[in-house]
Amino acid sequence: MEKINLKGLNIAIMGGSHPCKEILQLLLSDGLKDLDCRILIVADPFTRVEGLKYAKKQKLLTTTDYNDIFKLENLDLILKLAQDKSLNTFIEKAAPQHIKLLNLDHSHAMALITQLKIEREKTAVRKNIKNNKIDTNNLEAIFNQFSDNIMHIAEERIRHYHDETLDLIKMEQELSQIIHGSMIPTFIINRDHIITHWNRACEDLTGYKSYELVGTDKQWAPFRSSKRPTMADVIVGEMSEDEVQNYYGDSWKKSVLIKEAYEAEEFFPHLGENGKWIFFTAAPIKSEDGKIIGAIETLRDSTYDKKAQAELEAQDKKLAHLYDQYRILFNNNPNPIFIVDSSTLEILDVNNSVEDDYGYGKEQLIGKPFFDVLNEMSVNISYTPEMVTLFKEKAKAGQLSAGMPWKENTFKTKSGEYIPVRYSTSFLHKKGKLVSCAFFFHDLTEIKQLEKELVQSERLAAIGQTISGLSHCIKNILTGLKGGSYVVDVGLKKDNVDKLKTGWQTIKNNIDRTSDLVQNLLTFSKEREPEYQPCYPNEIVKDVVKLLDVHAKKQNIEIILQLDPQIGEIIVDPQTIHRSLLNLISNSIDACLEVYEVNRNLKIHLKTFLENSNLLCVEVQDNGAGMSQENKNSLFTPFFSTKGAKGTGLGLLVTDKLIEEHHGTINVSSTLGQGTHFTLKIPYESIKPTIEN
């Protein structure tokens, strides 16, 4: 360390550790007054350190904020005793350019203390000589005293260096043990490119022993067939990037974490049985003044990682291929498919057939609740919140693992077309855990058409087979016509008006029976498309009641209306409603006439209401004779009737056919002796508001 000249300087001390106290004691002593230097301030963030406490005792300015140093005027020198290296940058930014900085580590601080002690002794001798206080007889004794003091100072310094050397040796031994015991393959070279450390992990990786390489410059030998600089050599030699490029091309790259450090990965076919991939990193080792004095290089066997990565890439490629195949199969499946999250029941994905068949794009469906979408499209089935909750609970409990049976429904597409479908649910599991559901839909249009054609042929066949069964009904009608005509003839001959009226009424009744029979036969045997048009369902119900109310009252049967006033003008087929209600109310009147209890108040209740904003519901309930379960099971069998000779068995068949053509449903419940309850559910469309409206 060069001699530090403090003469005449204004000094600030940064760091109040033990060396600070010794320096203060020396500079403030009488022996060094000739230096004429002033201590302006002592700074340390810790108030209990020795130097700061001593400075306060000597009435010197102290602070715990380093910034206060740079507020002083006439400051010449900062003695930095604090070992925090980050302060260097702070001082460079904060200190004015004319202020000199002495950055003293512990060793340099002790050297300064030694220098000051020697200077104190020299000053004392010079002072005695200058004041002529030296007796020539005592000159030898004074010289010996001075030499002894210098020797004492030197011995203290030597002991200090000895202790420091021992500490360094101990640290070197500990560092060697740490490096040698590290599981990371590591070697270190010094500024002369000589290996100083080659640890056990490095031996295991390369097969080269420490004693073979330490003390040599053969760090290249485990990896190259001829001498070439390793990454550590590049750093110690401070080679340019162009030189590195000449040796290794673009395979090496600068570290993003450490300046002047490098990293690279390379394959060495001669290492191990089948070669090894090695990932290298190297960083400089620097002295206190920032000079590179060596380099440390670490190695990592990345063969397993490379193999795993290759396997993963192969697996990813295979999965990508399988996924592509799945998407091809999924999107090109002719049947619409919905993939639904099992927890939220939101739509995760749909295939192309959903848009092709129903007109809804993926962007309109993905993320929406599946059962809400189903309710929007469904015509004759409504999924209530209770049903959805039950589905979720069963799915969560794992009670649906076997899938759901096929069900039939009718969907209304975005374009307004009706499509009969059959659908099923399949539950998808991952590692035994339910993750999603797949709903498959199959278009039944062609099948339903074939069924209709089959039913139509069966109807025609049934009509042909049962014409003879209707002969009795026709014979009764003809008998009624003959009887009526006979009464008319009698009335004409006798000029009896009452006879004429009675006979003519009989003829009219049998003409109506003939008309109804022919109309029912035509309706049952012929396919018919509903004629949708705006109408008021409640008014249709009232019209039907007007036709039958007089007949009902004659039989002491009360027809009670409960019409929903919220039902306004909607789009349906009015003829379907009219014909169906005419048949059902007529049947209810006939059922009430079969009751022989004198005290029973015979009633027929008619009720209308809307359901799910797309179904018109009409209930017809009577307290008539009711039906047995056997008769109920045969209710929609062709030409089945419970009225004997009075019935044709066509009324309910025609009603069922009309409702089916309208994509609706008809449900019946009945108890023998108590009455029957029919419920019609018919899909409708709301009237879209116009600009005028």
- In angstroms, the CA 295 to CA 301 distance is 20
Report whether pLDDT(115) > 60: yes
Report whether pLDDT(266) > 50: yes
What letter would DSSP give residue 649? S
Q: Are 28 and 51 a contacting pair, CB within 8 Å?
A: no
- Alpha carbon 514 to its chain centroid, in Å, reads 69
Q: Are 496 and 490 a contacting pair, CB within 8 Å?
A: yes
**Dihedral of the CA atoms 479, 480, 486, 492 (nearest 10)?**
-160
Q: Which CATH superfamily is domain 533-686 in?
A: Histidine kinase-like ATPase, C-terminal domain (3.30.565.10)
Region 98-118: what's the mean pLDDT? 82
Region 226-233: what's the mean pLDDT? 87
* CATH entry 3.40.50.720 includes domain 10-133: yes
pLDDT category of residue 693 using cuts at 50, 70 and 90: very low
Region 332-347: what's the mean pLDDT? 86
Region 207-217: what's the mean pLDDT? 90
Tokens for 303, please give them: 């063969």
Higher pLDDT, 66 or 403: 66
- In angstroms, the CA 64 to CA 141 distance is 48
Give 168-201 pLDDT, tens digit per residue.
667 667 777 777 778 889 999 988 899 889 999 9
Which residues partner with 426 through β-bridges?
438
Region 452-474: what's the mean pLDDT? 59
- Alpha carbon 145 to its chain centroid, in Å, reads 87
Distances (CA, A) of 63 to 76, 102, 104: 18, 19, 20
What letter would DSSP give residue 346? B
Asked if 182-301 and 333-443 have one fold, the answer is: yes
Three-state secondary-structure class, residue 570:
strand
Report whether pLDDT(647) > 70: no
Q: Are 588 and 620 a contacting pair, CB within 8 Å?
A: yes
pLDDT category of residue 292 using cuts at 50, 70 and 90: confident
Three-state secondary-structure class, residue 46:
coil
Which CATH number is 182-301's, of 3.30.450.20, 3.20.20.450, 3.30.590.20, 3.40.50.1970?
3.30.450.20
Class of domain 333-443 as given by CATH: alpha beta
Region 68-95: what's the mean pLDDT? 83
User: In percent, how much of the chain has pLDDT > 90?
Assistant: 13
Region 654-675: what's the mean pLDDT? 86
Give 486-497 pLDDT, tens digit per residue.
667 777 787 777
Give 584-596 pLDDT, tens digit per residue.
888 888 889 888 8
- In angstroms, the CA 103 to CA 90 distance is 13
pLDDT category of residue 636 using cuts at 50, 70 and 90: low
Map out the domains of the chain as residue ranges: 10-133, 182-301, 333-443, 452-525, 533-686
Give 314-335 pLDDT, tens digit per residue.
888 888 888 888 888 888 888 8
Q: Are 298 and 280 a contacting pair, CB within 8 Å?
A: yes
Report whether pLDDT(401) > 90: no
Q: Are 544 and 511 a contacting pair, CB within 8 Å?
A: no
pLDDT category of residue 569 using cuts at 50, 70 and 90: very high
pLDDT category of residue 526 using cuts at 50, 70 and 90: low
Report whether pLDDT(24) > 70: yes
Report whether pLDDT(63) > 70: yes
Region 234-241: what's the mean pLDDT? 84
Region 558-568: what's the mean pLDDT? 92
State the pLDDT at residue 645: 46
Report whether pLDDT(403) > 60: no
